Amino acid sequence: MATPLLELSNVSKSFAGSDALKDISLEVEPGQVLCLLGDNGAGKSTLIKILSGVHRPTGGEVRVSGTPVNFGSPKDASVLGIATVHQFGGSFPLMTVERSFFVGREPTKGWGVFRIFDKKTAAAISVSAVQRLGITRITRGDQIVGSLSGGERQALVIARAVHFGAKVLILDEPTAALGVKEATHVLRIIMQARAAGVAVVFVTHNVLHAMTVGDRFAVLIHGRKVDDFRKGERSRAEITDLMAGGEAMAELESELAQYELDAGESR
Amino acid sequence: MQTRLNVASTGVRTSPKLVAQPATVHEPRQTFRRLSRRSEMGALVGAVVVFVFFAVLGGSKFLSVGGFAGWTNVAAELGVVAVPVGLLMIAGELDLSVGSVIAASSMTLAIASGYWQLPYPVGILLALAVGAIVGLINGIITTRTNVPSFVVTLGTQFGMAGLTLGLSRALTGSTNVSVTPDPVSKSIVGTLIAGQFETSILWCIGLALLVGWVLHVSPWGNWIFAIGGDKESARAADIPVARTKVVLFVCSGLGAALVGVIQTSLYNGAQTAIGQSFVFNSIIAVVIGGVLLTGGYGSVIGVILGTITFAVVTQGIYYTGWSSDWGSLILGILLLVAVLLNNTFRRLALATKRQRSVGSRKDRNGNATTRTE
């Protein structure tokens, strides 16, 4: 078995005494999609922040390719090839595709202080990188990012991360704000990143999207990992139940039944 | 020239041959569309409209060399402040302290070289240092504390005004100090070419070229746009956000200090109250110029056009025979119209692609069928 690219063992994080995460163990291998499922407040964002170097865990260990790491800043994580894509972040609506793609890593021509931004190269690389992800509507580098659809913007950011050598791609709710077709497109892009050998951590609360692309799954509730399984080991209904906290759903159903009963009596 | 590209579905990659090259066909409509999505379009329309307006009403006097000098001198001094302020605004920050920086740097120069009789170039350096220090303070406080630059620079604006007034009176017993620049310095920063054109015009052009190069040609321009567009994403892309902003604040302070030096040299003296009009005038010029107040969008040519528009209105009014009392009214209306115009152009720019996407069809499998032009 391949060494997991990214591995968490018993990672905990507490803020001012309260546990945001407790004893989380996860691993993701190259060319695998790990889906992190959980409701709002389950600790998904905290986990992402630990993986991307924003927070330091208060307990446990994070390993990259088997080596324990201690990220001091997001830069430390990105140096090791861990790229995080937030729902809307990473693309600049009022910039052009070619400029946005190369923000912070501008290709230049010329020498010293007289270096100039190499627009031609930037346009050619950025357009071909997004087209490789199947976004053929982006044909020119000087298109404004804000004129692209949500899915295309996600594609642009993912293409950027892959182009600059991301080995682990953390996608924070990439499909949450998208329409059905757009979401399908993003899922397709996830599959392409996976096929290219990238380890993908796909954070979502959409069970269907997760089941479509996921190889491994982990469900978080109140900062704890309550289940961990591989593709095909759980049904959709089981996962949904688990995410909603099972009991909570059952409770709500009985409450609703009670309301209906009350309403019937008062009539 | 319409070829149909059928996008392959999952797994199958578009072959490199299908990767569309930038379109080579330039239809007039396309050219118009590309022009209309530039940030300075609104400013260009505004500048042309006010120029024609005052050329018609002001007649030959406005169009004479004297009339031309009148508004170019105003535009040049304002431009020296507005260009760096615009750059800062594109990075998402405001600088309201330029007024007091002009006053402080003027007084520094006048006191150092007039009252204390230090060599004039030394006075100039001290004056510029004052601007740089205020910029540094603005930048450091803004980036370290996350207090909005609006508040920080409002604080330094008032603080510096008080400091300038207090120190001037304490040191010289006056709020008005005269100084005689040496001939070389005067000819460089504060003289009239052909009897009516200020040397500040050359400074302004040089500054605009330099800043235009930084913003639009050099790789640093990309950082500035990115910082103004989305600070967090810029930081995630390893851009030194804080350092870049501090540098921009220093540039803004230097620009204001340069105007202080220019005015002091031009009028052979300084007062503690000068320069205050530059605070809002620079913002008006920058906003008319198409720079987005919240950052991330704008151009140097736009700022220059905004500056020219401002100057033409304030100076043109004298040639119309109207009372100059109406100048501010025209400026106020102009500012609002320009902002609405800029918003429209920006919306157009953002909508260009969407409109086209309505025309592109999807086949039964949901794959986009796009046309390449």
Residue labelled with tokens 């209906």? A260
Mutation target among B35, B41, B238, B299 for the A interface, most CBs of A within 10 A: B238
Q: Vertex A86, ends A242 and A14: CA angle to 5°? A: 60
Q: Give percent above pLDDT 70 in chain A.
A: 94
Work out the minimum CA distance from A177 to partner chain B, whole angstroms: 18
Nearest to B233 among A92, A136, A148 (CB): A92
DSSP string of A152-215, one letter each residue: HHHHHHHHHHHHTT-SEEEEESTTTTS-HHHHHHHHHHHHHHHHTT-EEEEEES-HHHHHHH-S
**Residue B236 is nearest to which of A90, A131, A184, comparing CB atoms?**
A90
* pLDDT tens per residue across span B82-131: 999 999 999 999 999 999 999 999 999 999 999 999 999 999 999 999 99
CATH match of B40-346 with 1.10.3470: yes
Q: Which residue from A75, A132, A147 is facing B352, i.e. has the nearest CB? A: A147
The beta-carbon neighbor of A144 closest among B10, B13, B37 is B37
Most A CBs within 10 A among B1, B222, B362, hence the mutation to make, goes to B222
Do the chains contact at A106 and B219, CB–CB below 8 Å? yes
pLDDT surpassing 80 at residue A250: no
pLDDT tens sequence across B158-204:
999 999 999 999 999 999 999 999 999 999 998 898 889 999 999 99
A72 with A155, same domain: the answer is yes
Host H or E run for residue B226: helix B219-229
Domain co-membership, A156 together with A214 = yes
Q: At B204, phi and psi to the nearest 5?
A: -65, -45
Considering only CB atoms, A116 lies closest to which of B11, B16, B217, namely B217
Residue at token pair 């230090």? B118
A89 and A194 both lie in a single domain: yes
The yes-or-no verdict on residue B9 having pLDDT over 50 is no
What's the pLDDT score for residue A148?
85
Find the domain containing A211 and state its range.
6-234
Identify the CA nearest to B98 among candidates B302, B274, B351, B298.
Answer: B274
Specify the pLDDT at position B14.
39
Q: What is the pLDDT of residue B104?
A: 97
- Whether residue A31 is found in the same domain as residue A79: yes
Domain boundaries, chain B: 40-346
For chains A and B, count residue pairs whose Cβ atoms are closer than 8 Å: 134
- pLDDT band of residue B42 (cuts 50, 70, 90) is confident
Q: Do B5 and A136 touch (CB under 8 A)?
A: yes
ipTM: 0.77
Q: B8 touching A, CB under 8 A?
A: yes
Would you call A177 an interface residue with chain B, using a CB distance cutoff of 8 Å?
Answer: no
A1 inside domain: no
Provide the pLDDT for residue B77.
96
Which chain A residue's Cα is nearest to B360? Answer: A137
Q: Are A231 and A215 in contact (CB under 8 A)?
A: yes
DSSP state of A254: H
Whether the predicted pLDDT of A93 surpasses 70: yes
A224-234 average pLDDT score: 85
User: CB of B2 within 8 Å of any CB in chain A?
Assistant: no
A210 and A223 together in one domain: yes
pLDDT score, position A186? 87
Cβ of A136 and B13 within 8 Å?
A: no
Do A164 and A241 belong together in one domain? no
pLDDT-based confidence at residue A226 (cuts at 50, 70, 90): confident
Could you tell me if A38 and A142 lie in one domain?
yes
- Cβ within 8 Å of A, B 18-77: 18-20, 22-23, 34, 37
For residues A147 and B349, is the Cβ–Cβ distance under 8 A?
Answer: yes
Q: What is the pLDDT of residues A136-152, one digit of tens each?
A: 888 888 888 888 888 88
Same domain, A77 and A113: yes
Q: Which residue has the higher pLDDT, A205 or A200?
A: A200
- Shared-domain flag, residues A170 and A193: yes
Pairwise CA distance, residues B144 & B158, whole Å: 21
Structure tokens at A93: 């609506």
Question: pLDDT averaged over chain A?
Answer: 85
Q: Does B172 reach chain A within 8 Å, measured CB to CB?
A: no
Q: How many CB atoms lie within 10 A of CB A263?
A: 9
User: Contacts by B14-21 with C-beta closer than 8 Å and gap 24+?
Assistant: B14/A131, B14/A132, B14/A134, B14/A136, B16/A128, B18/A131, B18/A136, B19/A127, B19/A128, B19/A131, B19/A132, B20/A127, B20/A131, B20/A136, B20/A139, B20/B372
The answer to whether B353 contacts chain A (CB < 8 Å) is: yes
| Total domains in the fold of chain A | 2
Q: Which band of pLDDT confidence, cut at 50, 70 and 90, is reported for residue A39?
A: confident
Q: Look up the CATH number of the domain holding residue A213.
A: 3.40.50.300
Verify that A106 and A227 share a domain, yes or no: yes
Residues in chain B closer than 8 A to A89 (CB atoms) = 230, 232-233, 236
User: Does residue A87 sit at the B interface (CB-CB below 8 Å)?
Assistant: no
| A250 shares a domain with A174 | no
Are both A55 and A181 inside the same structural domain? yes
Contacts of B218 in chain A (CB under 8 A): 115-117
pLDDT at A69 over 60: yes
A131 and B234: CB-CB below 8 Å?
Answer: no
Q: What is the DSSP letter of A80?
A: T
Residue A127 lies in a domain: yes
B364: contact with A, CB 8 A cutoff: no
Query: How confident is the model at residue B105, as a pLDDT?
Result: 97
